[in-house]
């Protein structure tokens, strides 16, 4: 179900708790909510819909892809950029890495490790920061 976007800085700054199998509905809601905002949003974390669990989704072409309990295990090639966020006004400067490796669980709870580059890596870094209570 599409959920309203949380813009409350105090709750957004609280680190999210690990997600468990009872959080499957949050994964579905996050996918639905990103799909509803895909014209102006490329990723979303569960605390952006008011659910403080470590779940993110990102846009890859026409698809919305979930990651549960994502952790960045390696990162390289830092750069400075600016980003926007659906929960915050304006564009803000931030530091990202061109290359990252992420360990996470899929929506059917398989543990996976995958590497990402450039724009997709940037989206995932932004959303994992949300899980840690870090805002741009």
123 contacts 59 by C-beta, under 8 angstroms: yes
Q: Is 83 a catalytic residue?
A: no
Q: Choose the binding region for Zn ion from 19-27, 68-76, 81-89, 101-109 (rule: CB under 5 A).
A: 81-89
Q: Choose the binding region for Zn ion from 53-61, 67-75, 80-88, 95-103 (rule: CB under 5 A).
A: 80-88
- Does position 85 bind Zn ion by CB under 5 A? yes
How far apart are the C-alpha atoms of 35 and 37, rounded to whole Å? 5
- Does position 46 bind Zn ion by CB under 5 A? no
Least Å distance, CB 87 to Zn ion, is 5
- Does position 16 bind Zn ion by CB under 5 A? no
Q: Which one from 23, 29, 127, 129 is the annotated catalytic residue?
A: 127
C-alpha distances (whole Å) from 18 to each of 36, 57, 105, 126 are 25, 15, 11, 18
Shortest-Cβ-distance residue relative to Zn ion: 85
Residue ranges of E strands in 26-109: 43-45, 55-60, 63-85, 88-105
* CB atoms near residue 107 (< 10 Å): 15
Binding region for Zn ion (CB under 5 A): 85
Which residues are designated catalytic?
A: 127
């Amino acid at each position: 179900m599409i959920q309203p976007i949380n813009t409350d800085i105090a709750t957004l700054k609280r680190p999210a708790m690990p997600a468990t199998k009872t959080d499957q509905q949050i994964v579905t809601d996050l996918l639905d909510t990103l799909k509803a905002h895909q014209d102006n949003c490329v990723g979303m974390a569960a605390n952006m819909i008011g659910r403080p669990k470590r779940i993110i989704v990102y846009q890859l072409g026409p698809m919305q892809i979930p990651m549960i309990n994502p952790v960045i295990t390696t990162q390289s090639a830092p750069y400075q950029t600016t980003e926007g966020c659906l929960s915050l006004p304006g564009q803000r400067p931030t530091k990202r890495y061109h290359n990252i490796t992420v360990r996470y669980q899929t929506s059917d709870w398989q543990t996976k490790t995958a590497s990402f580059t450039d724009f997709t890596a940037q989206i995932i870094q932004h959303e994992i920061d949300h899980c840690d209570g870090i805002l741009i």
